[in-house]
C-alpha cells in the first residue's frame, strides 16, 4: 500500500507524518516541479515532474502511479485538486484512489465568489461580498458595508494579491487594476482554523480539530491554540455534509458575538495541520485505514486542548542538483 503526495513543496511535516503512519506497510512517494522542494527528500521515493500546467502532466503522474503501485494520491496545492479530481476515473483505472472531494467541489472552493454564493443560498453566515463596483458603492452608500474592506482575486490562495482598502479611492484603484476581483467585508472577531476528515468509505465526518488563530504569516497560521466547542463541531459537520466534501479539508471561520461566520475552504491539508497532528488528530492513519478498506470510527474532538502551536524555521542540506 503506497501513497503519492503531489506538489509537496515545503510540507515536510505532512510527508513525515505519512511515513510514520504507513511505516513498513508501504512507501511514501513525493513529487514536485522544483528540485529545491525540501519535502521531496522526505519521501521514500521522489520524482521531479513538469508543472501542472504542462501538456502531458497527468500522464506523467499516472505513469508514476503504475510504476510505484500507488494505492492513493493527494495534492497539497489548490489548483491541482481540481485536476486530479477531474481524472479520478483515470487514476482508478490504474488502481489508485484520489483522496479528495469531487471536481465540482474543488472548483467551488477555489472560486471565492461561488463559495460565497453557495453559503448565502444555504443560510450560512459569511462576510458580505461583491464582484462589481456599482453594487459595492450602492451598499456603501446605504450603510450596508463600511471601510475597511478587502479587495482580492475571486480565485487564489496563500493570501496572494489580497489588499486592504480603507477608502473608496483605494477600492476603485485595486479593483480596476486587478483581474476578476471581488470586494469583501473585513471580518473581525476570533479567527478559527478547522482541520476535518470525512471518511472516504462511509462519507461521514470522523474527525474535527479546531484552533483559535493567534498570529498569521503569508496566509498561514503561525501561532494558534487548540480548543473544543460542541456547538462549533455541530456547525462544521452540518456544513461539510451539506457540501459533500470527502477526505481532508481545511476551513477558516470567524466567531463574533456567538455566531460562526464561514469564510473559506481548502479541500486539502492546510499549512496549520501540524498543530492538529501534534494534539492527537492523526488524519494520516485515517487515510491509511480507508485505503486498506477500513471505515474509521467517529472521534470528533478527540484531541488535546489548550495547546499552543508556534512555528519556527528548519533547514535541509542536499547535494548540488545537476
Alpha helices (runs of H) in the chain, residue ranges in sequence order: 12-22, 57-68, 78-86, 88-93, 103-110, 112-121, 133-141, 168-177, 230-243, 273-278, 283-291
Is residue 177 domain-shared with residue 195, that is, in the same domain?
Answer: no
Does residue 111 form part of some domain? Answer: no
Does residue 114 form part of some domain? Answer: no
pLDDT of residue 156: 66
Is residue 202 domain-shared with residue 277, that is, in the same domain?
Answer: yes
pLDDT of residue 160: 59
Q: How far apart are CA 5 and CA 17, in angstroms?
A: 12
Strands 2-6 and 28-32: parallel
Please tell me the total count of domains within the chain: 3
Does residue 209 form part of some domain? Answer: yes
Q: What is the CATH number of the domain that holds 166?
A: 3.30.1490.20
Spatial contact of 49 and 60, defined as CB atoms under 8 Å apart? yes
Last residue in a domain, options 142, 161, 185: 185
Is residue 39 domain-shared with residue 92, that is, in the same domain?
Answer: yes
Last residue in a domain, options 137, 159, 185: 185
pLDDT of residue 226: 98
Is residue 145 domain-shared with residue 245, that is, in the same domain?
Answer: no
Does residue 151 form part of some domain? Answer: yes
Nearest to 99 by CA among 309, 246, 219: 246
Residue 222 buriedness (CB in 10 A; 0-12 / 13-18 / 19+): middle
Does residue 318 form part of some domain? Answer: no
Does residue 115 form part of some domain? Answer: no
Q: What is the CATH number of the domain that holds 234?
A: 3.30.470.20
Is residue 181 domain-shared with residue 193, that is, in the same domain?
Answer: no
The CB-side HSE value for 20 (13 A sphere, CA atoms) comes to 13
Nearest to 44 by CA among 3, 77, 75: 3
Is residue 153 domain-shared with residue 201, that is, in the same domain?
Answer: no
Assign residue 7 a region (left: φ > 0; alpha: ψ between -120 and 50; beta: otherwise). Answer: left
| pTM assigned to the model | 0.93
Does residue 116 form part of some domain? Answer: no
Last residue in a domain, options 83, 99, 115: 99
What does the pLDDT profile of the chain (322 residues) look like in tens digits? 999 999 999 999 999 999 999 998 999 999 999 999 999 999 999 999 999 999 999 999 999 999 999 999 999 999 999 999 999 999 999 999 999 999 999 999 999 999 999 999 999 999 999 998 999 999 999 999 999 998 988 886 555 568 889 999 999 998 888 788 999 999 889 999 999 999 999 999 999 999 999 987 766 788 999 999 999 999 999 999 999 999 999 999 999 999 999 999 999 999 999 999 999 999 999 999 999 999 999 999 999 999 999 999 889 998 887 6
Is residue 180 domain-shared with residue 94, that is, in the same domain?
Answer: no
Is residue 181 domain-shared with residue 249, that is, in the same domain?
Answer: no
Is residue 48 domain-shared with residue 143, that is, in the same domain?
Answer: no
Does residue 120 form part of some domain? Answer: no
Q: What is the CATH number of the domain that holds 70?
A: 3.40.50.20
Is residue 285 domain-shared with residue 197, that is, in the same domain?
Answer: yes
Is residue 171 domain-shared with residue 214, that is, in the same domain?
Answer: no
Range of the domain at 28: 2-99
Q: At what angle do helices 103-110 and 78-86 cross, to 10 degrees?
A: 160
Q: How far apart are CA 9 and CA 30, in angstroms?
A: 9
Is residue 12 domain-shared with residue 85, that is, in the same domain?
Answer: yes
Q: Which are the contacts of 263, defined by CB distance < 8 A and separation ≥ 6?
A: 126, 127, 187, 251, 252, 253, 254
Amino acid at each position: 500500500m503506497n501513497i503519492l503526495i503531489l506538489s509537496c513543496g515545503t510540507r515536510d511535516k505532512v510527508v513525515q507524518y505519512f511515513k510514520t503512519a504507513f511505516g513498513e506497510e508501504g512507501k511514501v512517494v513525493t513529487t514536485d516541479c522544483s528540485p529545491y522542494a525540501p519535502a521531496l527528500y522526505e519521501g521514500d521515493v521522489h520524482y521531479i515532474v513538469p508543472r501542472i500546467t504542462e501538456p502531458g502532466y497527468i500522464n506523467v503522474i499516472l505513469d508514476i502511479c503504475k510504476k510505484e503501485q500507488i494505492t492513493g494520491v493527494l495534492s497539497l496545492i489548490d489548483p491541482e485538486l481540481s485536476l486530479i479530481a477531474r481524472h479520478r476515473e483515470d487514476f482508478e483505472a490504474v488502481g489508485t484512489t484520489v483522496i479528495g472531494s469531487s471536481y465540482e467541489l474543488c472548483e467551488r472552493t477555489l472560486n471565492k465568489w461561488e463559495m460565497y454564493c453557495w453559503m448565502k443560498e444555504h443560510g450560512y453566515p459569511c462576510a458580505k461580498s461583491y464582484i462589481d463596483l456599482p453594487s459595492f458603492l450602492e451598499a456603501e452608500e446605504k450603510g450596508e458595508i463600511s471601510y475597511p474592506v478587502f479587495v482580492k482575486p475571486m480565485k487564489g490562495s496563500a493570501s496572494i494579491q489580497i489588499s486592504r482598502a480603507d477608502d473608496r479611492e483605494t477600492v476603485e484603484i485595486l479593483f480596476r487594476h486587478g483581474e476578476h476581483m471581488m470586494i469583501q467585508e473585513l471580518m473581525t472577531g476570533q479567527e478559527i482554523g478547522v482541520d476535518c476528515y470525512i471518511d472516504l468509505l462511509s462519507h461521514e465526518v470522523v474527525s474535527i480539530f479546531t484552533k483559535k488563530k493567534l498570529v498569521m504569516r503569508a496566509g498561514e497560521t503561525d501561532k494558534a491554540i487548540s480548543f473544543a466547542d460542541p456547538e462549533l463541531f455541530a456547525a462544521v459537520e452540518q456544513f461539510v455534509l451539506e457540501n459533500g466534501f470527502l477526505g481532508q479539508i481545511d476551513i477558516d471561520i470567524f466567531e463574533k458575538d456567538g455566531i460562526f461566520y464561514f469564510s473559506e475552504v481548502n479541500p486539502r491539508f492546510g499549512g496549520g495541520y501540524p498543530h492538529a497532528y501534534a494534539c492527537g488528530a492523526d488524519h494520516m492513519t485515517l487515510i491509511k485505514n480507508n485505503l486498506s478498506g477500513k471505515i474509521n470510527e467517529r472521534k470528533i474532538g478527540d484531541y488535546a486542548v489548550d495547546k499552543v502551536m508556534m512555528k519556527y524555521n528548519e533547514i535541509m542540506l542536499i547535494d548540488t542538483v545537476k
